C-alpha cells in the first residue's frame, strides 16, 4: 500500500486518475485545482498580435475532459472535513454541481475571478469574456463551522477576485509557463483561508506548478500531478527558485 508520504511535496508525472488511485483514502486536507475547461476548438473572437484568432486550442488535454470520475476520486481522497476549490467555466460548473450532489459534497460558494485586462473582442456581437469561476465545496455538510476557515476580514472575504491576466515574471522568462496559468495571488489566498500549516494540498492538474509554489510559500505540503513532461519540468524548476514566483 502507498502512504501519503510517498507523494508529499513531489511533482508526479502521469494521468491524474491513475495516480490518484494510488493515494490512500481520507488523507488530503484541501483540493485546489484547475482542470480542463473543454473550450478548445470554440470560437474566441479575440485579437492577438494584430490578427483575429477564431478558435482556441490549448492542446489535446483540453478536449473530452470528463467531470464524474475526477469528482469521485476527490470524494475518496479528502479527509472528512476536507474542502475543494475548482476553477471552472460556466458550462462545466453545472456538471460539477450535478456530480458533486451525487457524491454528497456540500456546495458552499461560487467565487468569481474578474480579469481587469481581458482580451479584446473584434467581432462586436457579444460581451467580452472577463470572468472565470471557482467552485467551493466541503466534502461533508457540517452542523457548524468546524472545518478550516481562516477568516481574513469582511473586505478580504468577498467572493470576487479582481486581478489582471498574468504577465511579467510570474509567467516565466519569455512567457513560457502554462497557457491557462492562474494568478499566484488567488491560489495563495484560497490556500491561506482553507488550510493550515503542514496540511496536505492536492492539485491533480498542476500545470506549471502554481499550487505547489503557493503551498511551499505558505508552509503547506503539496501533492502535484501533471501529465505533461514539459510542465512537470517547469513546475520543478519554479520550486527550486530562491524567490518563488
What pLDDT digit, counting tens, does each position of 22-65 carry? 999 999 999 999 999 865 444 444 444 444 444 454 444 445 58
**From its phi and psi, is residue 26 left (phi > 0), alpha (psi between -120 and 50) or beta?**
left
Name the one residue in this structure whose C-alpha cell is 465545496.
137
Q: Beta strands 78-88 and 106-115: pairing type?
A: unpaired
How many structural domains comprise the chain? 1
| pTM flag (> 0.85) | yes
pLDDT band at 245 (very low <50, low <70, confident <90, very high): confident
* Contact of 170 with 115, CB cutoff 8 Å: no
Q: Which DSSP category does 185 fall into?
A: H
Output the pLDDT for position 39: 52
Higher pLDDT, 240 or 53: 240
Domain assignment of residue 245, yes or no: no
Domain limits for position 83: 4-239
Q: Which residues of 30-47 are buried (b: 16+ CB within 10 A; e: fewer)?
A: bbbbbbbbbbbeeebbbe
- Residues 183 and 164: their CA atoms lie apart, in Å, by 8
Q: Is the pLDDT confidence value at 183 over 70? A: yes
Domain assignment of residue 206, yes or no: yes
Q: Is the pLDDT confidence value at 203 over 80? A: yes
* Contact of 63 with 40, CB cutoff 8 Å: yes
pLDDT digits (tens, 9 = 90+) for 75-98: 999 999 999 999 998 889 999 999
Domain assignment of residue 149, yes or no: yes
- Residues 173 and 58: their CA atoms lie apart, in Å, by 20
Average pLDDT of the residues in 219-243: 94
CATH number of the domain bearing residue 43 = 3.40.50.150
Higher pLDDT, 218 or 177: 218
Output the pLDDT for position 3: 65
Output the pLDDT for position 126: 87
Higher pLDDT, 51 or 173: 173
- Residues 64 and 40: their CA atoms lie apart, in Å, by 10
Output the pLDDT for position 178: 80
pLDDT digits (tens, 9 = 90+) for 138-160: 999 887 888 999 999 999 999 99
Domain assignment of residue 197, yes or no: yes
Output the pLDDT for position 62: 44
Q: Is the pLDDT confidence value at 16 over 80? A: yes
Output the pLDDT for position 35: 95
Amino acid at each position: 500500500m502507498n502512504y501519503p508520504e510517498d507523494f508529499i511535496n513531489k511533482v508526479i508525472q502521469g494521468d491524474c486518475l491513475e495516480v490518484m488511485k494510488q493515494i490512500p483514502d481520507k488523507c488530503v486536507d484541501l483540493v485546489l485545482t484547475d482542470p480542463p475547461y473543454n473550450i478548445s476548438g470554440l470560437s474566441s473572437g479575440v485579437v492577438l498580435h494584430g490578427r483575429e484568432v477564431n478558435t482556441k486550442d490549448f492542446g489535446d488535454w483540453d478536449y473530452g475532459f470528463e467531470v464524474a470520475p475526477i469528482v469521485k476520486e476527490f470524494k475518496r481522497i479528502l479527509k472528512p472535513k476536507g474542502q475543494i476549490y475548482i476553477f471552472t467555466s460556466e458550462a462545466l460548473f453545472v456538471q460539477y454541481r450535478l456530480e458533486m450532489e451525487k457524491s454528497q459534497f456540500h456546495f458552499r460558494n461560487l467565487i468569481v475571478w474578474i480579469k481587469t485586462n481581458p482580451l479584446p473582442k473584434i467581432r462586436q456581437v457579444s460581451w467580452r469574456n472577463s470572468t472565470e469561476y471557482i467552485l467551493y465545496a466541503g466534502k461533508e455538510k457540517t452542523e457548524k463551522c468546524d472545518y478550516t476557515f481562516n477568516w481574513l476580514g469582511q473586505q478580504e472575504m468577498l467572493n470576487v477576485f479582481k486581478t489582471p491576466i498574468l504577465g511579467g515574471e510570474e509567467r516565466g522568462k519569455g512567457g513560457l509557463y502554462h497557457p491557462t496559468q492562474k494568478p499566484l495571488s488567488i491560489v495563495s489566498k484560497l490556500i491561506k483561508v482553507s488550510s493550515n500549516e503542514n496540511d496536505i494540498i492536492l492539485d491533480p492538474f498542476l500545470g506549471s506548478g502554481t499550487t505547489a509554489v503557493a503551498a511551499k510559500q505558505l508552509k503547506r505540503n503539496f501533492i502535484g500531478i501533471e501529465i505533461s513532461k514539459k510542465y512537470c519540468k517547469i513546475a520543478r524548476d519554479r520550486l527550486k527558485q530562491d524567490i518563488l514566483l
